[in-house]
């Protein structure tokens, strides 16, 4: 038996899907979290009979007339794949809007069960819905559910009702002309009748205590939090607190404890293999595999704390307000608040962030957002931020916060440049239903945190482990496959491969082959930057166990790296703004569907990273020492060439546009 879960965006479909299948798909308290269908089997505990049930969680839709591609996934599945039963999740707090879609589903003839979700919120507000009357009006079972609750959540009754209606004929409230409507006028006429029908049903079944014309506490909070001028500083302060707790206070303490275990494991293995082992094998196992992976995994607690706090923010409903705050700025660059959602998702991982762009209808906006979303510091970039903040900036929270806001600023600037290059002056308007604030669930945040931690560990144990082993081997041998002398690491294969690139980085302040090698391996997975630095500089522990903190300024690691704080900031910026990992580039390619756009995006990201790092290093050196940094002239020529290329593209586009206007005239 197959059940399709459908409903309006942010009605709680994925939360219900997770609750009935036991899966841990990502949920968020804003519309547009799900952009692709997902399948799972219903837990046996919820089934009274022996039948197994497969559930398909579909992206949210407001109607069966698709406006965005994820809505068409819903329509295609429901219409073409004929599920046995449709479970329509209706937000109990907003049935007047949800039932429009419900009445369309009823007309498909597939048995429908309505899950009146978030019913607990109605109890708190004093809103009463007569489910029996609603069931009669809709001609289908209506079950109250609270998908966020562990027990008494109505889910077993929902599954029972779904099994009960399987194979039965579904009738729908009479709505004349709905089946034959084809032209726009006909569809609009039917929609009007449908709205009237829904309004009638709501009047009959719903009794509200709250006067919607009165300002609620929520409205009062929004007046401050989503204020035109106050909204942005409040957002900055919140992000600063998140980075302070995760990178400066709680995170390092937990990380230190964790690194203590990694160190102990390193010691046990070192003791077990003894001194009589081949030094190449010994260093491959200890420094390459355990040291390299350990250096990355050591930052796991910091990342977990950060994800936990971001999950709390998501769950509270605040992040939807961020989209609203940013809409004002995004509109100026030809994007809209809708573009901020993929960017927020990208703070976890750029791949789903890029995929979330498919909710954007305008092609240029969708492609631009897919190009810019990877600028946000994703989970894989956090170890790099944490490492450099710890080594060079004394664990200061402003490093992470400023990277977050530098990313937003760069997105806005880049969006403007891309708009000028493409010449598309179209404007989009952003309409989003703001979810209600709620006290964030610690359980949901913990689940989100642990599932991301699991993903991080799997990645460290696979691709990062293999990369570090390869880096260690390439560093151990020269081109004649002889072991490189300990005091001559520059003669290794790795150094030979990375050195030509290191020249390019001299104007950016980090012209050492080790940094070049780390930047290259970072394209495979960004965590590799930390792993490769650990292997190439033979530093297996970036967290000081005795000091109970990340290694700080003046520490031996800083000396080993051989660069100053300004160059370190430049390297950090370079790694954050150059193209993301190959997997994310693949996702960008899928969403952009244009060779011109994907190569343009890679070139643009490379240019952005280079120009920013150049500015940070040269200006930073000028301010701190009074003179410009090394390699200024060649760097300026390279940066100048990039800027001229962008200006040429803008000019070329303007010329083409003018010619088109003249032709048309």
Residue 379: phi and psi, rounded to 5, are -60, -35
Q: Is 57:13 a contact under the CB 8 Å cutoff?
A: yes
Backbone Cα Rg of the chain: 28
- Cβ nearer to another protein, comparing 456 with 505: 456
**Shortest Å, Cβ 464 to another protein:** 9
- Cβ nearer to another protein, comparing 129 with 370: 370
CA distance 472 to 493: 10
- Cβ nearer to another protein, comparing 20 with 525: 525
The helix (run of H) or strand (run of E) holding residue 142 is strand 142-144
DSSP track, 443-512: HHHHHHHHHHHHHHHHHIIIIIHHHHHHHHHHHHB-TTSPBPPTT-GGGSHHHHHHHHHHHHTGGGT---
Q: Is 532:517 a contact under the CB 8 Å cutoff?
A: yes
CA distance 583 to 453: 19
Alpha-helical (H) ranges within 298-395 are 300-316, 318-332, 340-345, 350-355, 363-372, 382-392
**Shortest Å, Cβ 104 to another protein:** 21
- Cβ nearer to another protein, comparing 136 with 363: 363
The 8-class DSSP code of residue 7 comes to E
Which distant-in-sequence residues (6+ apart) come within 8 Å of 369 by Cβ?
Answer: 335, 339, 342, 343, 357, 360
**Shortest Å, Cβ 361 to another protein:** 12
CA distance 459 to 472: 18
- Cβ nearer to another protein, comparing 448 with 618: 448
**Shortest Å, Cβ 332 to another protein:** 29
- Cβ nearer to another protein, comparing 312 with 581: 581
Strand 543-544 with 549-550, pairing: antiparallel
**Shortest Å, Cβ 482 to another protein:** 18
Length of the chain in residues, anyone? Answer: 665
**Shortest Å, Cβ 315 to another protein:** 14
DSSP track, 389-436: HHHHSTT-HHHHHHHHHHHHHHHHHHHHHHHHHH----------PPPP
Interacting residue ranges for another protein, rule: CB under 8 A: 24-26, 34-38, 69, 72-73, 76, 273-274, 276-278, 281-282, 284-285, 289, 345, 348-349, 351-352, 355, 358, 448, 451-452, 454-455, 457-459, 461-463, 465-466, 469, 525, 581-583, 586-587, 590-591, 593
CA distance 657 to 501: 39
**Shortest Å, Cβ 392 to another protein:** 28
- Cβ nearer to another protein, comparing 289 with 387: 289
**Shortest Å, Cβ 459 to another protein:** 5
Dihedral sign computed on CA atoms, order 322, 324, 327, 329: negative
CA distances (Å), 255 to each of 288, 380, 508, 554, in order? 21, 16, 31, 20
CA distance 224 to 156: 41
**Shortest Å, Cβ 35 to another protein:** 7
CA distance 413 to 415: 5
Please give the biggest Cα pair distance in the chain: 88
- Cβ nearer to another protein, comparing 336 with 448: 448
Strand 2-7 with 85-91, pairing: parallel
- Cβ nearer to another protein, comparing 242 with 584: 584
- Cβ nearer to another protein, comparing 231 with 440: 440
- Cβ nearer to another protein, comparing 89 with 525: 525
**Shortest Å, Cβ 356 to another protein:** 8
Residue 334: phi and psi, rounded to 5, are 80, 10
CA distance 196 to 190: 10
**Shortest Å, Cβ 352 to another protein:** 4
Terminal-to-terminal C-alpha distance of the chain: 61
Number of Cβ within 10 Å of residue 229's Cβ equals 6
The 8-class DSSP code of residue 45 comes to G
- Cβ nearer to another protein, comparing 177 with 461: 461
Residue 5: phi and psi, rounded to 5, are -95, 115
Which distant-in-sequence residues (6+ apart) come within 8 Å of 640 by Cβ?
Answer: none
**Shortest Å, Cβ 28 to another protein:** 11
**Shortest Å, Cβ 583 to another protein:** 4
Q: Is 265:290 a contact under the CB 8 Å cutoff?
A: yes
- Cβ nearer to another protein, comparing 133 with 463: 463
- Cβ nearer to another protein, comparing 219 with 275: 275
- Cβ nearer to another protein, comparing 468 with 618: 468
> Count of alpha carbons within 13 Å of 109, Cβ hemisphere only?
4
**Shortest Å, Cβ 589 to another protein:** 10
**Shortest Å, Cβ 584 to another protein:** 8
**Shortest Å, Cβ 276 to another protein:** 6
**For residue 354, which of 344, 346, 365 has the smallest C-alpha distance?**
346
- Cβ nearer to another protein, comparing 58 with 198: 58
């Amino acid at each position: 038996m197959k059940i399709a879960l459908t409903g309006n965006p942010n009605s709680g479909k994925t939360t219900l899907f997770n609750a009935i299948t036991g899966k841990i798909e990502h949920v968020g308290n804003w519309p547009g979290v799900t952009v692709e269908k997902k399948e799972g089997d219903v837990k046996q505990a919820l089934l009274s009979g022996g039948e197994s049930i497969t559930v398909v969680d579909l992206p949210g839709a407001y109607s069966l007339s698709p406006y965005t591609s994820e809505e068409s996934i819903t329509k295609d599945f429901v219409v073409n794949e004929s599920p046995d039963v449709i479970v329509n999740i209706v937000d109990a707090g907003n049935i007047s809007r949800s039932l429009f879609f419900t009445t369309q589903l009823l007309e498909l003839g597939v048995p429908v069960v309505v899950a009146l979700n978030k019913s607990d919120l109605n109890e708190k507000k004093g809103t009463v819905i007569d489910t029996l009357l609603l069931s009669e009006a809709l001609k289908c079972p209506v079950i109250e559910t609270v998908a966020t609750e562990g027990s008494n959540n109505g889910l077993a009754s929902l599954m029972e009702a779904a099994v009960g209606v399987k194979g039965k004929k579904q009738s729908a409230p009479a709505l004349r002309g709905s089946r034959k409507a084809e032209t726009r006028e006909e569809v609009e006429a039917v929609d009007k009748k449908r709205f009237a029908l829904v309004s009638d049903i709501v009047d009959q079944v719903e009794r509200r205590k709250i006067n919607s014309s009165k300002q609620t506490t929520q409205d009062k909070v929004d007046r401050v939090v989503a204020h035109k001028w106050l909204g942005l500083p409040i957002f900055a302060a919140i992000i600063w607190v998140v980075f302070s707790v995760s990178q400066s206070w709680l995170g390092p303490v937990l990380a230190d404890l964790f690194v203590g275990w990694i160190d102990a494991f390193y010691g046990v293995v070192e003791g077990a293999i003894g001194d009589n082992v081949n030094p190449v094998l010994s260093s491959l196992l200890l420094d390459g595999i355990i040291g390299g992976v350990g250096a990355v995994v050591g930052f796991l607690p910091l990342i977990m704390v950060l994800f936990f706090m971001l999950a709390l923010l998501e769950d509270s409903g605040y992040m939807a307000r961020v989209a609203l705050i940013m809409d004002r700025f995004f509109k100026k660059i030809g994007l809209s608040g809708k573009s901020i959602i993929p960017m927020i998702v990208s703070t976890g991982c750029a791949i789903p962030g890029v995929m979330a762009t498919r909710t954007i209808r305008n092609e240029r906006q969708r492609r631009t957002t897919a190009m810019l979303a990877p600028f946000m510091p994703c989970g894989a970039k956090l170890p790099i931020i944490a490492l450099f903040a710890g080594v060079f900036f004394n664990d200061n929270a402003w490093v992470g916060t400023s990277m977050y806001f530098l990313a937003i600023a760069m997105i806005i600037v880049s969006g403007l440049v891309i708009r000028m290059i493409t010449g598309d002056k179209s404007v989009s308007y952003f309409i989003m239903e703001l979810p209600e604030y709620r006290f964030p669930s610690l359980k949901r945040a913990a689940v989100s945190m642990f599932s991301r931690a699991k993903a991080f560990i799997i990645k460290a144990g696979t691709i990062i482990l293999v990369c570090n082993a390869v880096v260690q081997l390439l560093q151990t041998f020269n081109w004649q496959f002889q072991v490189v002398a300990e005091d001559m690491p520059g003669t290794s294969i790795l150094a030979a491969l990375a050195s030509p690139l290191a020249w390019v980085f001299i104007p950016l302040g980090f012209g050492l082959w080790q940094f070049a090698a780390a930047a290259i391996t970072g394209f495979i997975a960004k965590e590799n930057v930390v792993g490769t630095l650990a292997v190439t500089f033979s530093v297996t522990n970036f967290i000081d166990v005795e000091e109970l903190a990340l290694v700080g300024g003046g520490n031996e690691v800083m000396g080993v790296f051989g660069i100053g704080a300004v160059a370190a900031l430049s390297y950090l910026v370079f790694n954050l703004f150059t193209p993301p990992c190959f997997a994310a580039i693949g996702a960008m390619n899928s969403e952009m569907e244009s060779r011109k756009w994907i190569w343009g995006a890679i070139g643009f990201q490379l240019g952005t990273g280079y120009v920013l790092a150049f500015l940070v290093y040269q200006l930073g050196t000028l301010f701190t020492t009074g003179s410009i940094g090394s390699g200024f002239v060649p760097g300026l020529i390279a940066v100048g060439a990039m800027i001229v290329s962008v200006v040429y593209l803008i000019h070329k586009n303007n010329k083409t546009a003018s010619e088109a206007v003249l032709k048309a005239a």
